[in-house]
Amino acid sequence: MAEIRVGGLSPWTVRLLSLVAGAAAAFAHPPWGFLPGLAGYALLLWLLGLGGAHRPLRSVFLTGWLAGCAYFLVCVWWIAEPFEVDAANQGWMAPFAVAAMTMGLALFWGCAAVAFRMVTSGDRRSGSIARVMVFAGVFGAAEWLRGHVFTGFPWDLVGESWRAGSAPSQTAAVVGAYGLTWITLAISSAPAVVHDGSRGRLTVVAAIGALFAIFVFGAARLGGAPTGVGGAPVVRVVQADVKQESKYDPAIFSSIVARYVRLTARRVSPRPDIVVWPEGAIPAAMGDYLAPGTWTLEAIEAALSPGQVLILGGYRIANGDASPPVIFNSLVVLRRNTRGIALEGLYDKYRLVPFGEFLPFDALAARLGIKTLVHVGDGFTPGPPPRPLSLPGLQTFQPLICYEAMYPGLAQSGARAAGVRASWIVNISNDAWFGSTSGPWQSLNMAGYRAIEEGLPMVRATPTGVSAIVDAFGRIAPRARLGQGAFGVIDAPLPPALTATPFSRTGDLPFAAMLLLSLLAAAPWRWARS
């Protein structure tokens, strides 16, 4: 049976344009930064309006889902890289993992498309501004759900299309990444209604005005940035360029330790007060290489000067030889004193990576044989929700391990629970899993948004790049970054913290208000149907 044409276009043309819309929007994200690609949201809104009220919902869903497939394929194709670390045993799973992740995340966009169609019924009579606001609301809500359902995966939220540290990104200090998602969707989709007569043209003018406003606000905020860092501690970020596959070779274990120790011991003036190693720096259990009397602990102690603090990440076994073991992905704070090295702080990762650090629905997966297939084993145990670490002689900091820096508001919730606001954020990550892909650059950009939202500087350490010291505006100084494949250190004073941002006080309340506006914009269609 011949397929029905949609708005005068063949079904295959609509599907192709859906893919183009999603891919264009994805390429707006760093590291590509092709901001004209944001017009992909206008194309998607136009496609969803084709066919009017007589278009089947399955066709509408397919349009949104295909756009989502293209978007997430561009954004998360790097997840194939971890399977190549053990290519002989796991390489065959890479294309299936990418396909499953892409098509699964795209379901959020497909459902958003159906929600848009059910609210508007394909009717354009209720106004161009209303359609744009409803579009921003349903797709903004879909992005929020993507960041929360089953622990969430808020990778490359729409609002994070702007490079962290740029003028538009500063709006996140007020409304957060989800609020900026709603604003970005509304501005970017507005050109779709330009041919709707005077109301359509007014909508486009309003979108241009909003775009101008966020640029002006951001420029003014950046123009008032403090410049003094007098008295700030000097931080050293160590990037030893240890590839992930190297960590599984026992023959080079000692050379890995030597790389970190040599970089830590490098002498400069002024001497760094704090040294930061990445997540999983040493490929062994912390209880083994930090045990008293071991050559590894002695080497680390010799590399540190009295009074220096070392922050590093690794895994620790909490219950010794018990079975099954309780394993945490942890961050520890060590201080060199006159008697040796003392443990002064500990944080266990709270947000674990699904299918990487734990297996969702573990019991069911074991019965189906999936647990053995993905080689997760018993996985890690999540720690308690993050809270700032307050240590003697050290500014209070908020630890975030690896992909915890994707989550808007996670640092904020820790500060509220502890009743203490941190002065900076430490984000240790093992981006070696990403290889030489776009993943580390995307991860760096998202981490920069957490600095903007909280008004706090961030120190980010990775084994292979990209390591950086980010200021409270999401910016990175030219000499405060080590790119992929670099071997070296970053030595710099810790940038100053800002006063509490509006987002750090209100959280996602502005975003909730935007969703309410979208709901009110949908009222004319509801009244018309009544």
Number of domains in the chain: 2
Does residue 453 have an active-site annotation?
no
Q: Which residue has the higher pLDDT, 270 or 71?
A: 71
What pLDDT was estimated at residue 1? 44
Are 279 and 313 spatial neighbours (Cβ–Cβ below 8 Å)? yes
Pairing of strands 327-337, 340-348: antiparallel
Is the domain of 186 the same as that of 253?
no
Is the domain of 429 the same as that of 520?
no
Is the domain of 117 the same as that of 153?
yes
Band of pLDDT at residue 368, cut at 50, 70 and 90 = very low
Does residue 349 have an active-site annotation?
yes
Q: What percent of the chain has pLDDT over 90?
A: 68
Is the domain of 210 the same as that of 248?
no
What pLDDT was estimated at residue 389? 93
What pLDDT was estimated at residue 365? 46
Domain span holding position 306: 234-350+385-497
What contacts 306, CB < 8 A, 6 or more positions away? 336, 337, 338
Is residue 374 scored above 50 in pLDDT?
no
Q: Catalytic: which of 402, 404, 453, 454? A: 402
Q: Which residue has the higher pLDDT, 386 or 529?
A: 386
Is the domain of 194 the same as that of 317?
no
Is residue 360 scored above 70 in pLDDT?
no
Query: What pLDDT, in 10s, does the model give residues 447-482?
Result: 999 999 999 999 999 999 899 999 999 999 888 999
Band of pLDDT at residue 362, cut at 50, 70 and 90 = low
Sign of the torsion formed by the C-alpha atoms of 18, 112, 30 and 163: positive
Is residue 369 scored above 60 in pLDDT?
no
User: Does an H or E element contain 175, and which?
Assistant: helix 172-189
Average pLDDT value for residue range 314-332:
85
Is the domain of 184 the same as that of 256?
no
Average pLDDT value for residue range 315-326:
79
Query: What pLDDT, in 10s, does the model give residues 229-257?
Result: 667 899 999 999 999 888 878 889 999 99
Is the domain of 275 the same as that of 317?
yes
The pair of structure tokens assigned to 430 is 């093992």
Are 243 and 282 spatial neighbours (Cβ–Cβ below 8 Å)? no
* Residue-by-residue DSSP string for 185-216: HHHHHGGGGTTSTHHHHHHHHHHHHHHHHHHH
Query: What pLDDT, in 10s, does the model give residues 406-456?
Result: 999 988 888 888 889 999 999 999 988 888 899 999 999 999 999 999 999
Average pLDDT value for residue range 357-386:
59
Are 240 and 252 spatial neighbours (Cβ–Cβ below 8 Å)? no
Is the domain of 514 the same as that of 486?
no
Evaluate whether residue 100 is within a structural domain: yes
> Quick one: 175 exposed, middle or buried, by C-beta within 10 A (0-12, 13-18, 19+)?
buried
Q: pTM for this structure? A: 0.93
Band of pLDDT at residue 309, cut at 50, 70 and 90 = very high
Evaluate whether residue 27 is within a structural domain: yes
Is the domain of 314 the same as that of 451?
yes
Helices (H), 385-498: 410-418, 439-454
Evaluate whether residue 360 is within a structural domain: no
Q: In whole angstroms, what is the distance from residue 130 CA to residue 280 CA?
A: 49
Is residue 323 scored above 90 in pLDDT?
no
CA 260 from chain center: how many Å?
Answer: 27
What pLDDT was estimated at residue 7? 67
Is residue 44 scored above 60 in pLDDT?
yes
Average pLDDT value for residue range 324-350:
92
Q: In whole angstroms, what is the distance from residue 351 CA to residue 384 CA?
A: 9
Is the domain of 311 the same as that of 407?
yes
Evaluate whether residue 398 is within a structural domain: yes
* Of 3-17, 88-102, 259-273, 358-372, minimum mean pLDDT range: 358-372
Band of pLDDT at residue 373, cut at 50, 70 and 90 = very low
Q: Which residue has the higher pLDDT, 481 or 53?
A: 481
Question: How high does pLDDT run on average in the chain?
Answer: 89
What CATH number did the domain enclosing 342 receive?
3.60.110.10
Is residue 17 scored above 60 in pLDDT?
yes
Does residue 111 have an active-site annotation?
no
Band of pLDDT at residue 137, cut at 50, 70 and 90 = very high
Is the domain of 290 the same as that of 412?
yes
Evaluate whether residue 239 is within a structural domain: yes
For residue 400, give the 3-state DSSP assignment.
strand
Average pLDDT value for residue range 281-295:
93
Q: Catalytic: which of 69, 75, 160, 349? A: 349
Evaluate whether residue 244 is within a structural domain: yes
Average pLDDT value for residue range 110-128:
81
Q: Catalytic: which of 81, 143, 160, 279? A: 279
What pLDDT was estimated at residue 60? 95
Evaluate whether residue 389 is within a structural domain: yes
Is the domain of 242 the same as that of 98?
no
How many other CB atoms are there within 10 angstroms of residue 317's CB atom? Answer: 15
